[in-house]
Structure 1
Amino acid sequence: MQNAHDIALLLARFQFAFTVGVHIIFPAFSIGLAAYLAVLEGAWLATGRQVFLDLYRYWIKAFSIVFGMGVVSGLVMAYEFGTNWSVFSKKAGPITGVLLSYEVMTAFFLEAGFLGVMLFGMNKVGRGLHFAATCCVSVGTLISMTWILASNSWMQTPRGYRIDPATGQFLPDDWLAIIFNPSFPFRLVHMGLAAFLSVAFAVGATGAWHMLRARRAGAIAGEPVRVMFSMAMWMAAIVAPVQILAGDAHGLNTLKYQPVKIAAMEGDWETEGRAPELLFGIPNMRTEHTDYAVKIPLLGSLILTHSLDGKVPGMKDFPRDQRPPSPVIFFSFRIMVALGVLMMLVGLWSLWHRRNSTLFTSPVFHIVALCMAPAGFIALLCGWVTTEVGRQPWTVYGLLRTSDSAAPVILSSMAVSMTAFVVVYVIVFGSGLGILVRLLARAPQEGEPDTAPTRASDMLATRVHPAVVTFSSGKGA
């Protein structure tokens, strides 16, 4: 019976990880793309250049699908809190539930109130009001990210609470301390930059694809393609180095408040000064040793403490039952860092091409940019795995274990629901992504059609995929 319970708990954890992993891509895409749309519309209003309006109308069609899939995928997790994680909801709900309700009352209402104007009001309201609607939706996505990260960061570094001795509930004592907990500012900046960087490379890859297609056809890509590729590469060149600095600051914060997570990420077992950096290895939780380790002397202390003599914690300093699974986060962390460095190099490479006037003519660079399309999202997922798996075995760090947070789930029920989730997600979101790819496979045109034609004949002329209207009107949710 105990074995069945353990397997059911593992399936509940995997189910939540699967649904969150799918969901997190779409809000990140929405955050970056909404900001990009606000910049495009602002640039059009400021300069009057038609190309910015063309790009706005092109990318808003993609935004409508991404936003819709984000709403649909996010609804599922609310039910999982009640069905699979009811003990956590009961104990932490007075804090996390309130923070998530703030997200609904501020961000969701702001987005819902102005989304229709943004998608369909270009020809129905004044330019200033429409731009304000676009900015409100963009700000709404950022506010949504802020509240969700405040809740999740509190679970990582809980502050401002007291525990009711009768019920074991976490009750708020200081809301400012709860919201602005020690890890919150670092995680907010890191996540925001990750969203912008992910979208920059998605936009850049789309531009690169169309420039390669034009080159094969013996033509020159149109101005909208060149402009969006240039804007994306500017964003990559500026944001990628800043993201690495933000990640370094986040690491220093994690070392201070969650040292065992750092030890597991680095594959370090013994606490030592002048510690090396492990480029590669296979952490062995049973033997308490990292096999096949490839080390660079002193670099571990320098990176983690900014001092050659700084002490780096080892996992042996912590009880076995409080150590996260090192092999998982050891590799997820390294994939994230490798992709971050690669994105920075591509951004710097774009500056070299820009200086030499070959940004739009180098097929090799365009192929690399195309291959980098998923890089930001993969790095984001790896960062999420590092953060959340590194918190284990806790849901509320150091206070509430994951094993004590679950409802009394039944193995057969979890197996059926997990299978159903995978099948439905593959069908629904696979179809959504297919529609998105079809939309982006068509290059933006000069005089790009609007998303809200005023007559049926105009709707036929725009050739907007029906799913755009379905998701944008909320029917997809």
Structure 2
Amino acid sequence: MEFDALMLSRIQFAFTIAFHIIFPAFTIGLASWLAALEFNWLRTGNPLYRNLFRFWVKVFAVSFGLGVVSGIVMSYQFGTNWSRYSEFTGNVLGPVIAYEVFTAFFLEAAFLGIMLFGWEKVGDRLHFFATCMVALGTLISAFWILSANSWMQTPDGFAIENGKAVPVDWFKVVFNPSFPLRYAHMVLGCYLTTAFAVAGMSAWMLLRHPHDAPAAKLAGSRRSMSMALWFATIFVPVQILIGDLHGLGVLKYQPTKLAAIEGNWDRMDNMPLRFFAIPDEVAETNHYEISIPKIGSWILTHAYDGVVPGLKDVPPDERPPVWPVFFSFRFMVGIGLAMLGIGLWSLYLRWKGTLFTNRMFLTAAMIMTPSGFGAVLFGWFVAEIGRQPYVVYGHLRTADAVSPISTGAVTTSLLTFIVVYAFVFGFGSYYLAKLLRRGPDPVEDIREDDLGKKPKRPFSVPDEGLEGEPGHKALPIR
């Protein structure tokens, strides 16, 4: 492997986008989580929800800020490291990215300050509206970014004039063949990332206190974990279904990527389901393969005798690197199955009435805290590395997209990014850890004037569980 300007530019972009995607993957789901908490507070008058909002909005603010900082540098790289890519795609993707700024970024910027600092200055309903607008802005931002990225995967609605892509049908550009399912897959992945992060952080808070600690001390963590696990239990199976449908699209539009995902060298029907193998790109075969005959074709094509493409269908210089694609996909699927297992386990413990006291489960939930981030990253590796050797699939090779820049210049900028990111994200992670260590304030700490316009009336706070579960006690508002 030669570390020339092309390879170093790819490493630099992969490094910055890997850091960046962690934060939108969290904040997209966290914004909607905050809206759900505030809605429940307005609906029930239970200060527990407002207390949780005030805790998680601090986590959101730090994560959102780190996401903005990490995202800015990527746009500069399009001009510095990938100018030929920008020249080829600018007429198509330039307006798409501009739409993201005009719609999502402006919407978030307009209402973010109200959401973070305006609750004591505006009415409850206006503040809830601002929270909803921020959540909507994150979804709109994901819409345009995924549209642009999906166009690079399955380009449509354009023509090439004078060596540049020119839009001819904006609807086909935006709603290109892979976009709808990729958008749904990504957004739900972000929601599940947040769900498991919230559940895991809440489990960590519970593990730090004995299960018989005062109800007010544990109420916020229990409510957060319960809500997050309900969401995960319901929507992990939905995500698996969307992933299966997305796989059919990859088979249709990017068959070579699918062949790399499965480590399939020869076109065949009755393809086995490979759990493990060591792909050998030189010998064009797999070593130490562990598989089940015929099941692979049924999963990939929904037919037992379905034909699955092979890597040998194209010349070697048209194939993506097999190792990272093959193993990244299996890591992603493995994480998804672990998520499914946690969801099913939580249902069993709810039935037993020990969801918040089973230390083995709480430890497992805590370990699963970064699982969503891992699934998103490995999925991103599959999508982006599997597209190689093209940056615009079938039309622009990555080697032809790089700027005429020296190796030394890219090396300097890459090392600078590593140092700066280590400092910025190290500080941000330290602050987040301090927030999480403290946890939500106990319900008793809520002052009477914090109740806003809600009437003074009894409300329910969980002790050993939530409403309808063992150990529930009713505490009055003071």
TM-score normalised to structure 2 length: 0.91
Structure 1 residues 270-306: Cα deviation after superposition (integer angstroms, max 9, x where no partner) = 1111110111011111111111111111111011011
- Asked whether the 8 Å contact 1:259–1:313 carries over to 2, the reply is yes
Q: Per the alignment, do residues 160 and 209 of structure 1 end up closer, same or farther by CA in structure 2, a change over 3 Å counting?
A: same
SS at match of 1:415: helix
Offset at residue 156 of structure 1 (A): 0.3
Stretches of structure 1 that go unaligned for 5 or more consecutive residues are 454-477
- Equivalent residue letter for 1:214: H
Contact 1:274 1:298 in 2 (8 A): yes
Residue 311 of structure 1 aligns to a residue whose secondary structure is coil
The superposition leaves residues 320-368 of structure 1 with CA deviations (integer Å, 9 ceiling, x where unpaired) of 1110001011000000000001001101110111111111111110000
Q: Which shows bigger deviation, 300-309 or 134-143?
A: 300-309
Partner residue of 2:324?
328
Task: Determine if contact 1:57/1:449 at 8 Å carries over to the other structure.
Answer: no
Structure-2 separation of matches of 1:11 and 1:66: 28
Question: Residue type matched to 2:8 in 1?
Answer: L
- Equivalents in 1 of 2:24, 2:444: separation in Å? 29
DSSP-derived class of the 1:283 partner: strand
Secondary structure of the residue that 1:123 maps to in structure 2?
coil
Assess if the C-alpha contact under 8 Å between 2:97 and 2:148 holds in 1: yes
Spell out the pairing of 1:258-269 with structure 2 (5 A cutoff): 258-269=254-265
Q: Aligned partners of 1:304, 1:141: CA distance in 2, in Å?
A: 32
Query: Aligned ranges for residues 106-255 of structure 1 at < 5 Å?
Result: 106-164=103-161, 166=162, 168-215=163-210, 221-255=217-251
Is residue 2:83 matched to residue 1:66?
A: no
Cα distance between partner residues in 2 of 1:437 and 1:118: 22
- Structure 2 SS opposite 1:214: coil
Give deviations 1:184-238, integer Å, cap 9, x for gaps: 0010000001100011111001111111111288666521111011001101101
Check if 1:345 corresponds to 2:348: no
Quote the Cα distance in structure 1 between the aligned partners of 2:291 and 2:218: 49
Coordinate RMSD, CA, aligned: 1.5
Residues 218, 111 of structure 1: alpha-carbon distance in 2 compared, 3 angstrom cutoff:
closer
Deviation readout 1:58-88 (Å, 9 max, x if unpaired): 0000000000001000000010000000000
Amino acid at match of 1:198: T
Residue pair 1:323, 1:392 contacting (<8 A) in 2 also: yes
Contact 1:54 1:447 in 2 (8 A): no
Q: Does 1:292 align with 2:288?
A: yes
Q: Within 1, Cα distance between the matches of 2:283 and 2:8?
A: 27
2:374 to 374, 378, 384: 378
Gaps of 5+ in 2: 451-478
Please give the secondary structure, in 2, of the residue aligned with 1:403.
helix
Partner of 2:307: 311
Structure 2 letter corresponding to 1:235: F
Q: Which moved more, 1:73-82 or 1:235-244?
A: 235-244
Distance 1:217 1:10, change over 3 A: farther
1:447 shift after superposition: 5.8
- 1:39-58 maps to which residues of 2 (within 5 A)? 39-58=36-55
CA distance, structure 2, for counterparts of residue 159 and residue 227 of structure 1:
46
DSSP-derived class of the 1:273 partner: coil
Conservation of the 8 A alpha-carbon contact between 1:58 and 1:448: no
C-alpha spacing 1:448/1:144, structure 2 compared with 1 (3 Å): farther
* 1:57–1:448 Cα contact (<8 Å) kept: no
Task: Tell me, in whole angstroms, the C-alpha distance in 2 between the residues paired with 1:272 and 1:159.
Answer: 29
2:267 aligned with 1:276: no
Cα shift at 1:443:
2.0
Structure 1 runs (4+) deviating above 6 angstroms are none
Q: Does 1:436 align with 2:449?
A: no
Summarize the Cα distance change of 1:136–1:88 in structure 2 as closer, same or farther, 3 Å threshold.
Answer: same
Distance 1:292 1:63, change over 3 A: same
Shift in Å at residue 427 of structure 1?
A: 1.0
Aligned amino acid, residue 170 of structure 1: A
Which SS does the other structure have where 1:361 is aligned? Answer: coil
| Matched-pair contact (CA < 8 Å) for 2:193–2:372 | yes
Query: Contact 1:278 / 1:296 at 8 angstroms: preserved in 2?
Result: yes
For 1:462, the equivalent position in structure 2 comes to none
Alignment identity in percent?
Answer: 51
Q: Determine if contact 2:4/2:407 at 8 Å carries over to the other structure.
A: yes
Look up the SS of the partner of 1:444 in the other structure: coil
For 2:53 and 2:284, the matched residues in 1 are separated by: 54
Please give the secondary structure, in 2, of the residue aligned with 1:279: strand
Which residue is equivalent to 2:416? 420
Residue by residue over 1:401-430, the C-alpha shift from the partner in whole angstroms, topping out at 9 and shown as x without a partner, is: 000001012011111111111111111112
For the residues of structure 2 that align with 1:96 and 1:284, how far apart are their CA atoms?
37
- Report how far residue 449 of structure 1 moved: 7.3
Whether the 8 Å CA contact 1:50–1:447 is kept in 2: the answer is no
Residue identity in the other structure for 1:89? S
Question: How many aligned residue pairs are there?
Answer: 446
